[in-house]
Chains A and B, each alone.
Chain A
Amino acid sequence: MTTNSKDMRKTWEKIADYFRAHSIWMKWYCTGCGAIEMPPTMTSRFDMEQLGMGPMATPRQADVLLITGYLSAKTLRRVIYSYEQMQDPKYVVGFGSCTLNGGIYFDSYATMTRLDHYLPVDLYIAGCMPRPEAIMNAFDTLIKMIEKGEAKGWRHYQENHDWYRKNQLHSLKEVYVKDEFHE
């Protein structure tokens, strides 16, 4: 992501960013195995709520979209759909090596090999799968990024929408979901 080294934000934006950083509601889209390490992160042992993070029921309410693992083409359509439903500012976190470079499924006909080709990823967490400690650490980094105004993926998506859309169409042929076909 391109980031401006100089802080160009206005004062009220800085205040807003403070609030945004310390209250992150996540849309936890269980796209893959990484989802199994989310419950321990959320629940009593690691307790994500200390950081002010919590799960939300629908994409409209959420601030951060967690892509927890490999993405099949079928899921990617729905992920894009969910991402576009979210309200600005919004952030994307990619979990595990599958979102980074395809990971163990690099030669699979069904899964993506890199997520930032289709969605603006603010932060990647390496590992297969990332441990809860790594996830907590990553969220800490995300909070700092938002506070400093560096997590600008959503703006990048708006400005380079054509590029993203071109990539999405190349891989998916059709982005919007028509679910009736299989019934």
Chain B
Amino acid sequence: MNLMNFVYAFLLLLAAFVFQTTLTGINRKVVARLQRRRGPRFYQQFIDIFKALSKGSTTHGWVFDFGVVMALGGIMATAIFIPFGPLKAVPAMDNIFIIAYVLAVGMLGMAMSASGSGNPWASIGVSRALTNMLAYDIPFMMVVFGLIFAFDTSSLSGLAAIQREGGFLGWHVIRFPLGGIVAMISLQGMLGKKPFDSFIAPAEIASGPMVEYGGRHLGMLFLLHEFSTFIEVSLIVHLFFGGGATVAAFLVKYALIYTFLNIVSNVLPRFKIDQAVTFFYKVPLALAVVQTFLIIVVGMGVA
């Protein structure tokens, strides 16, 4: 760890931000086409974020302010550990457990800040978000533990490298199709896309945790959202789609997966929170159990 690492990390973060934000903008355009309209400019998301950051905002106490900063800091710190294709800012630290832990800091900061606003809609939103997290995390982690057990490594780039050995057919999504399905559904939940977006549902709880955010705070939230999307999609790309031997391969995979999920999310209504939990504990959890059983006991797809 030296100064170069930090500069490198900063550049990677910047690249991640630019890439993800552009992708969001393009996706807004894609969704617009689905809805039979022209849609915004592809760089609209940048304008939105910078505009929000340029506005004033009110505070609702120090918990509110500190929570946002903590959340953004936590998420950005996590994003540093994510390998950007073959590039890594901090080598040998891309461990799934580290990422899961540091990610939690961000999530908690978010929850703290939203509750600190004192708005009941925000509290409901936070409790829903945490419930949602609990729902998608259990099947997802189960599948991930299966992978770790099978390949004796919890390093993202390590897991990705193992997949690349077998070429296209070596990807875990091919070798462990059930696990791949679970991962995609969980990713939909992680990203807060429909049908699992009940914690920000505008028509139900007026955008939930974000209800009291405005101006700069909201801008930071948008940044946070871009970074956490980057983390979550990258996780899946590395775990199931062979990561990236080159930066370009990584980005293409990433873009395709994200766009696919976005299109799916726009033709689905949303679950109520209890239905989402029931769904996760029924279908994905069952699939995850079967998949883990196949990996650990039968050893299918491991060799």
A contact residues vs B (CB 8 Å cutoff) = 16, 19-20, 22-23, 25, 43-45, 47, 49-50, 52, 56-63, 86-89
Contacts and interface: CB of A to CB of B under 8 A. Distances in A.
Given A57-B207, A58-B207, A87-B214, A63 B39 contact: no
A67 to B, nearest CB: 19
Nearest to A47: B37
Nearest to A88: B56
B206 interface: yes
Contacts of A52: 40-41, 44, 47-48
Contacts of A43: 35, 37
B55 A60 contact: no
Interface string B29-60: 00010011111110010011011101111100
Nearest to A89: B55
A19 B51 contact: yes
Contact of B54 (A16, A45, A62): A16
A52 B56 CA distance: 20
A37 to B, nearest CB: 17
Given A49-B39, A89-B56, 5 more contacts: A23-B51, A43-B37, A45-B37, A50-B40, A60-B218
A109 B35 CA distance: 43
B160 interface: no
B44 A23 contact: yes
Chain B, interface residues (CB within 8 Å), range: 20 to 34
Contact of A23 (B47, B207, B213, B215): B47
B30 to A, nearest CB: 13
Return the 7 tightest CB-CB contacts between A and B, nearest first: A60-B214, A57-B207, A16-B54, A47-B37, A19-B51, A87-B215, A87-B214
B82 interface: no
Nearest to B48: A23
B144 to A, nearest CB: 34
Contacts of B47: 19, 22-23, 52
A52 B207 CA distance: 20
B24 to A, nearest CB: 13
Interface in B44-102: 44, 47-48, 50-52, 54-58
A99 to B, nearest CB: 24
B211 A60 contact: yes
Contacts of B52: 23
Contacts of B57: 87
A23 B25 CA distance: 13
B251 to A, nearest CB: 26
A56 B56 CA distance: 17
A34 B148 CA distance: 59
Nearest to A46: B37
A88 to B, nearest CB: 4
A61 B37 contact: no
Highest count of chain B CB atoms <10 Å: which of A16, A60, A63: A60
A25 B219 CA distance: 13
Given A43-B37, A87-B215, A49 B55 contact: no
A61 B32 contact: no
B41 A61 contact: no
A50 B55 CA distance: 22
B54 A60 contact: no
Contacts of B55: 20, 63, 87-89
